[in-house]
């Protein structure tokens, strides 16, 4: 396999995909025109230079598990710096559990954000009708500030504009900037957690930090319930462990590794450490986990389709290591404090990689010259031409796993 030739060809394909289509250019022009001509609807006027200590603040993040977990250090910093504020998060219904029980959030609202539902896209004016409906709902909350935590989320920026929220902070992307009152410069090489922290720090005026001081932790946060822990105990049974989890699935096919490679990793680690392997996944990933198990000599425990988010987190909390491709569940394992091995390809680990101690949370890449391309929508028929994940050598993953287990796995206990 000529990786240099593949990388050169894929760089050309990526450049072509990055060119704005006529539809995108037309939408951008219309958004700019609308922002210029349409006044902010009457509502809570606020003070353009001030934000009261008890301000009502809305944080908007439309994405899924991993991206919403990335907001939790920022929400903690917001609560620490503005303890009297009323903080509301607006997320997709698919991510509401991420913030359940989080003391840094007073209220969680949900919205089926267009483009993030992982359902067939509705055409025509459906996204704009939804926006109008939600703007009316949000207006009743009389928010004084909105944080658009996804840098290119023009729909969320327009929603905050139509909801008459006086302070609207986000990133100066072409589509979002027209609807913001404060737009921070794009930081493409900055991790999402750090970017969120910078955006929150820009709320006017910056209040004095209270509480824990400069050494405050900025770990990802996910809160378990007693029911979550009980479910994990039931699923793992009486087996003494130790447990090693493999989560082979990912939101996009181009992110996935070879099932036979995961099987070899599971067998090797089980043999070398005496650990028992558990395969995790959603109900749509049962077949994938079964394919991994069918290639293993040892017998793993398959939990795909048997856990909700809380139970999955509780299972990971009892593991000594979690391995998988770039996916939300791997970030969930990070939030639970369990060492992790992440396989990255099309996404940039500098921006979307594990947020934690790099000695505990390792990233493995092929180092292909076209990676990261930031595109996840390559057709399945073309996946052999995009080997950035599936061609990662088995020994690279085993090497990192052995090192992490030897340093942090504490398998003897």
With a CB cutoff of 8 Å and minimum separation 6, the contacts of 281 are 247, 248, 249, 288, 289, 303, 304, 305
For residue range 209-238, what is the model confidence (pLDDT) as tens digits?
544 444 446 899 999 999 999 999 999 987
Helix axes 394-404, 259-273, angle to 10 degrees: 30
**180 domain-assigned:** yes
Tokens of 405: 């287990």
Residues in the chain: 413
- Smallest CA-to-CA distance from 56 within 82, 26, 94 is with 82
pTM: 0.91
For residue range 141-155, what is the model confidence (pLDDT) as tens digits?
999 999 999 999 999
User: Is the domain of 168 the same as that of 69?
Assistant: yes
**108 domain-assigned:** yes
Cα 298 from Cα 277, distance rounded (Å) = 9
User: Is the domain of 85 the same as that of 161?
Assistant: yes
**DSSP letter string over 339-399?**
-EEEEESSS-HHHHS--S-TTTEEEEE---TT---------GGGGGG-TTTTTS-HHHHHH
| Element at 146 (helix H, strand E) | strand 145-148
Tokens of 14: 């990526």
Domain span including residue 162: 30-209
| Element at 184 (helix H, strand E) | strand 182-184
**266 domain-assigned:** yes
User: Is the domain of 153 the same as that of 244?
Assistant: no
Cα 302 from Cα 308, distance rounded (Å) = 14
User: Is the domain of 256 the same as that of 117?
Assistant: no
For residue range 296-347, what is the model confidence (pLDDT) as tens digits?
999 999 999 999 999 999 999 999 999 999 999 999 999 999 999 999 999 9
The total number of structural domains in the chain stands at 2
For residue range 148-201, what is the model confidence (pLDDT) as tens digits?
999 999 999 999 999 999 999 999 999 999 999 999 999 988 999 999 999 999
User: Is the domain of 202 the same as that of 232?
Assistant: no
With a CB cutoff of 8 Å and minimum separation 6, the contacts of 145 are 51, 55, 56, 57, 58, 165, 166, 167, 168, 169, 203
Cα 42 from Cα 162, distance rounded (Å) = 9
């Amino acid at each position: 396999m000529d990786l240099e030739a593949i990388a050169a060809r894929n760089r050309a394909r990526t450049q072509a995909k990055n060119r704005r289509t006529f539809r995108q250019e037309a939408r951008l022009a219309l958004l700019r025109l609308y922002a210029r001509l349409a006044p902010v609807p009457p509502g809570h006027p606020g003070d353009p230079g001030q934000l009261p200590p008890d301000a009502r603040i809305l944080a908007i993040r439309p994405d899924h598990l991993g991206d919403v977990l990335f907001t939790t250090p920022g929400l903690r910093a917001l609560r620490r710096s503005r303890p009297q504020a009323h903080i509301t998060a607006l997320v997709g219904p698919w991510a509401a559990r991420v913030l359940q029980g989080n003391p840094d959030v007073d209220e969680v609202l949900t919205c089926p954000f267009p483009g993030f539902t992982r359902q067939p896209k509705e055409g025509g004016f459906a996204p704009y009708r939804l926006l109008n409906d939600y703007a009316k709902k949000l207006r009743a909350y009389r928010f004084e500030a909105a944080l658009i935590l996804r840098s290119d989320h023009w729909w969320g920026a327009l929603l905050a504009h139509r909801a008459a929220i006086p302070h609207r902070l986000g990133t100066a992307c072409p589509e979002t900037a027209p609807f913001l009152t404060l737009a921070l410069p794009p930081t493409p090489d900055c991790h999402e957690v750090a970017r969120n922290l910078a955006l929150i720090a820009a709320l006017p005026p910056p209040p004095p930090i209270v509480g824990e001081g400069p050494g405050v932790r900025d770990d990802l946060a996910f809160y378990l319930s007693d029911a979550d822990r009980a479910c994990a105990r039931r699923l793992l049974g009486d087996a003494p462990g130790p447990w090693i989890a493999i989560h082979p699935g990912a939101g996009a096919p181009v992110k996935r590794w070879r099932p036979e490679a995961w099987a070899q990793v599971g067998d090797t680690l089980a043999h070398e450490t005496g650990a028992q392997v558990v395969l995790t996944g959603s109900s749509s990933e049962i077949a994938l986990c079964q394919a991994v198990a069918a290639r293993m000599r040892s017998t793993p425990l398959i939990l795909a389709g048997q856990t909700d988010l809380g139970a999955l987190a509780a299972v990971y909390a009892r593991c000594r290591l979690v391995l998988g491709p770039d996916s939300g569940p791997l970030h969930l394992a990070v939030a639970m404090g369990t060492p992790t091995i992440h396989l990255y390809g099309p996404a940039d680990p500098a921006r979307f990689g594990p947020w934690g101690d790099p000695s505990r949370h390792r990233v493995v890449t092929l180092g292909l010259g076209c990676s990261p391309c930031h595109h996840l929508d390559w057709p399945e028929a073309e996946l052999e031409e995009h080997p950035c994940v599936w061609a990662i050598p088995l020994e690279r993953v085993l090497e990192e796993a052995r090192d992490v287990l030897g340093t942090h796995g504490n398998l003897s206990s």
